[in-house]
Amino acid sequence: MVDVPLTKKGIEEAIEAGKRISNIPVDIIYTSVLIRAQMTAMLALTQHRCNKVPIIMHNESEQAKLWSQIYSEDTKKQSIPVVTAWQLNERMYGELQGLNKQEIAERYGKRQVHEWRRSYNVSPPNGESLEICSQRAVAYFREHVSTGICIFSNILDWNEMPCVQILINISSEGIARTFLCMRF
């Protein structure tokens, strides 16, 4: 999870994704604290028909919350809050971070690497298992995002987001075969 920006290809993909969701109403954006996730959200939003300005809502301290507070109702109407949270970060691979697949396979063997990547509850050295990663993301979702579904009607249409339902109800047996729709 080394915090690197999007590549040229990633930028192009974010813009294309923005075009595909340009007509879906958006009231709030949740993203991880990683720069590539924030870039994806910002670039996708440049293609949105709403023409609203994304504003990052800083929640890391009381002072940061105060500094990002918007007091103008007109400004609020012209903006989309972007909430960042480390709990939405992708899986932390610990001592494997920064190594390429070949280096990891040479150090630990292909079998071990496959187990770390595909097992639900096996963690790489000083890293997270998929279980730990999903627990923190789901806990955040339940505490912050799902409560917002009642407040902000256009975060998600629950019936049209089966991937979110899958994320919350995912089984350890199905983890290796399930696409997680948490990457925005």
pLDDT tens, position by position, 59-101: 889 999 999 899 999 999 999 999 898 998 989 999 999 999 9
Highest mean pLDDT among 4-13, 17-26, 157-166: 4-13
- Taking 80 as the threshold, does the pLDDT of residue 177 lie above it? no
Is 142 among the annotated ligand-binding positions?
no
Q: Which neighbouring-strand residues pair with 82?
A: 29, 56
Is 120 among the annotated ligand-binding positions?
no
Q: Which among 64, 90, 116 is the end of a domain?
A: 90
Is 101 among the annotated ligand-binding positions?
yes
Name the one residue in this structure whose structure tokens are 């630990």: 108
CATH code of residue 43: 3.40.50.1240
- Are 104 and 81 contained in the same domain? no
Q: What mean pLDDT is predicted for residues 139-143?
A: 86
Domain of 8? 1-90
Q: Which among 45, 74, 90 is the end of a domain?
A: 90
Of 77, 84, 80, 108, residue with least CA distance to 94? 108
For residue 48, being part of any structural domain is answered with yes
- Are 43 and 127 contained in the same domain? no
Is 93 among the annotated ligand-binding positions?
yes
Tell me how far apart the alpha carbons of residues 109 and 139 are, in angstroms, rounded to a whole number: 33
Is 92 among the annotated ligand-binding positions?
yes
For residue 184, being part of any structural domain is answered with no
Is 117 among the annotated ligand-binding positions?
yes
- The domain tally of the chain equals 2
What's the pLDDT tens digit per position in 150-164? 444 444 333 333 344
Tell me how far apart the alpha carbons of residues 135 and 172 are, in angstroms, rounded to a whole number: 12
